[in-house]
Amino acid sequence: MKNLKLKAARAGMDLSQQELADKVGVSRQTISAIEKGDYNPTINLCIALCKVLGKTLDELFWEE
């Protein structure tokens, strides 16, 4: 399942995939794979993404 919430939050902060990746310590390809739904991030990576993007786990990762 694509993570459009993550993509929207990243775009809302005007961050490229590379910039977000640099902030959380992963590759741009990892961010791309998460957004495409090809990779399930660890809880530690989820928390790091939430901190950078100012969102909660539910806001970024909870499926409706």
Q: What is the CATH number of domain 4-56?
A: 1.10.260.40
The residues spanned by each domain of the chain are: 4-56
Rounded to the nearest angstrom, the gap between the alpha carbon of residue 62 and the centroid of all alpha carbons in its chain is: 12
Query: pLDDT (tens digit, 0 to 9) for every residue of the chain, 64 residues total?
Result: 899 999 999 999 999 999 999 999 999 999 999 999 999 999 999 999 999 999 999 999 998 7
- Cα 19 from Cα 14, distance rounded (Å): 9
Q: Are 25 and 48 contacting, i.e. CB atoms less than 8 angstroms apart? A: yes
Q: Specify the pTM.
A: 0.93
